[in-house]
Structure 1
Amino acid sequence: MILTRIPFSHSNSRGFPLINLETISRTSVSEVRSILSSLNIPMELVLHIMAIAEYCPTLRTQRPDTVKIAAGLYHNTEACWAAKLYLVSPPLPRAPEDTLFWRVRKVTWELEGRDQGRSNQRRGEYRGACSWYDACIFRPLQAQAAEGIQNFADLTEIDGIDRTFTDPRRGMFAVQELLGAAGWTMVPHGDSNELTWRLQNNRIADSRYKRHVFEWSVDRRGVAADAKHRGSCDGEGFVEALRPGDRIGIWMRAQYRGWKCHTKMASVSVMYEFR
């Protein structure tokens, strides 16, 4: 098999480092298809073989940078709420003009983080954590769609949302207003009004950084049992919602008095297929 790794770095307008890799290129996938077809293997079988081997175009974005946020120390603990955009991917590529079928097949997440390292309850558990990560889908509005798909380097507006938001009443809807002015929107979560998907909880009251790796796939509902036991969330409908031109975001989150979220590294890998 041909494996292509094409690194290209990108920093947002505030300068945080992103590492982008095309771990399997669309060109390599097309070449392998041609080689197998030249052996008189029917295209249906070629596609089946490559699907089993998971030899599909794959894009990976990583941020190796330690960041922390704090929910606050207000007397009214309900007013303590924080969110910070940690990572945003380049746009998913446009399908080739002769393509009849395009979809994201799998998204692989890697997160390394922790909470404040102390709590009065549920120490060592993941369930009920008030320090966690969310995923979101940034989508260009119609007027910006073509530019958004072709050139992510100039779209620094959404990367610039790197300050902490602390409005407990409006939450992500305040972010949505800023995005609209920049020509972007966040895709709602199914029929709900939620603009993010719960991604991963930090382990409660553990000062050690924990690494979590798990997948959201169209071929399997939910996550593996061991990943779910370690605080990974199902992400129902996320992969199916992705379209060409979309960008994937990872948010750091903390809520309630004294809670913090520390992040050491995060990455997202997107495997897509076309026919």
Structure 2
Amino acid sequence: MTSPPESRRNFHPHGSRSEILLLPPRNEFMTSHPWTAMYLISPPLPRGVSAVQFNITSHDQGWCSDRNQGIWSWFDVSILCSERDGGEDYPSSSLFSDLPDHPSSYLKPKPEDFRQVLQDQGLHFKDTPKEGIPDPDPTKPGAIAKRVASNKIQRSWQQHVVFWRMEDGGEEAGFLSCLEEGDRLVVWARTQFPGWINCVKDVEIMVSVDETTLNTIPASGGGSDTRQEDTVNGVL
């Protein structure tokens, strides 16, 4: 067995939120449309990020009528970039500061439905390679969200620890290769179909910078193994 990624890297916290969120809201449990909650947006990323660790604590409704129909309570991540150069004050450091106090204001069916909300804050989605397409056509749009973790069917809290690393290649490395200095990561809590629930307790993003690549990566623009360890058991 190879040693855990964290033993060979220095991961640093880069955004967290610890607050229980129930998706969908209690009065909407049996609605048929999908649900997406903007749970966490990271601060701007440093230059040269080569690995990301996601720590997520959550659980689903704890039962399922047909386990063969798949898991429909999960988490995605997207990359956000600024629409214009505006120095350190743009977008504002108070970006979505009301997220913890008004979580219901950040609920929509799908991540793409947040485009206008993000544009109002000077941000937009960055396309990433679509899953299963190693060399996508550059003239066609990529995906705006990628799966990070899925809940297991149980009522107790689960901790998902997910590592994406450039050196492992694969789809996650393609995602990491899109990251540039100043980008942000947004973690979405998601559900689909009546009866499915995503109960979120906390999410933390940690990043690792490869110091050896900093001299070769242009500042601001110029296949990975996904490890997920499930164990049962702060705001932007």
Report the TM-score, using the length of structure 1 for normalisation. 0.61
The equivalent residue for 2:66 is: 121
Query: Quick one: distance in 1 between partners of 2:127 and 2:43?
Result: 20
Report the TM-score, using the length of structure 2 for normalisation. 0.70
What is the DSSP-based 3-state SS (H/G/I as helix, E as strand, rest coil) of the residue aligned with 2:119? Answer: helix
The equivalent residue for 2:208 is: 271
Distance 1:269 1:130, change over 3 A: same
Aligned-pair CA distance for 1:119? 1.0
Aligned-pair CA distance for 1:147? 3.0
The equivalent residue for 1:54 is: 9
The answer as to whether partners of 2:166 and 2:172 remain within 8 angstroms in 1 is no
Runs of 4+ in 1 over 4 A off after TM superposition: 157-161
The answer as to whether partners of 1:90 and 1:152 remain within 8 angstroms in 2 is no
Alignment of 1:50-199 (within 5 A): 54-55=9-10, 58-70=12-24, 72-74=29-31, 77=32, 80-93=33-46, 102-122=47-67, 128-144=70-86, 146-147=87-88, 153-156=93-96, 159=99, 162=103, 163-167=105-109, 171-190=110-129, 192-199=141-148
The answer as to whether partners of 2:111 and 2:188 remain within 8 angstroms in 1 is no
What is the DSSP-based 3-state SS (H/G/I as helix, E as strand, rest coil) of the residue aligned with 2:114? Answer: helix
Unmatched tracts of structure 2, length 5 or more: 1-6, 130-135, 216-236
Aligned-pair CA distance for 1:66? 1.3
Identify which of structures 1 and 2 has the higher relative contact order when contacts are C-alpha pairs closer than 8 Å and 6+ apart: 2
The answer as to whether partners of 1:59 and 1:271 remain within 8 angstroms in 2 is no
Distance 1:242 1:108, change over 3 A: same
Query: Quick one: distance in 2 between partners of 1:187 and 1:181?
Result: 16
Query: Quick one: distance in 2 between partners of 1:252 and 1:173?
Result: 13
The equivalent residue for 1:213 is: 161
What is the DSSP-based 3-state SS (H/G/I as helix, E as strand, rest coil) of the residue aligned with 1:92? Answer: coil
Q: Among 240, 247, 253, which residue is 2:184 paired with? A: 247
Aligned-pair CA distance for 1:153? 2.3
Residue 111 of structure 1 aligns with an amino acid whose one-letter code is I
Residue 30 of structure 2 aligns with an amino acid whose one-letter code is L
Aligned-pair CA distance for 1:115? 0.8
What is the DSSP-based 3-state SS (H/G/I as helix, E as strand, rest coil) of the residue aligned with 2:167? Answer: coil
Aligned-pair CA distance for 1:219? 0.6
Aligned-pair CA distance for 1:181? 2.4
Aligned-pair CA distance for 1:240? 0.9
Aligned residues: 191
Distance 1:217 1:152, change over 3 A: farther
Query: Quick one: distance in 1 between partners of 2:99 and 2:206?
Result: 18
The answer as to whether partners of 2:20 and 2:202 remain within 8 angstroms in 1 is yes
Aligned-pair CA distance for 1:104? 1.0
The answer as to whether partners of 1:158 and 1:182 remain within 8 angstroms in 2 is no
Identity between Structure 1 and Structure 2 (%):
23
- Structure with the greater alpha carbon radius of gyration: 1
Query: Quick one: distance in 1 between partners of 2:143 and 2:19?
Result: 28
Distance 1:243 1:200, change over 3 A: same
The answer as to whether partners of 1:117 and 1:207 remain within 8 angstroms in 2 is yes
The answer as to whether partners of 2:167 and 2:173 remain within 8 angstroms in 1 is no
RMSD: 2.8
Query: Quick one: distance in 2 between partners of 1:251 and 1:240?
Result: 20
Aligned-pair CA distance for 1:258? 1.3
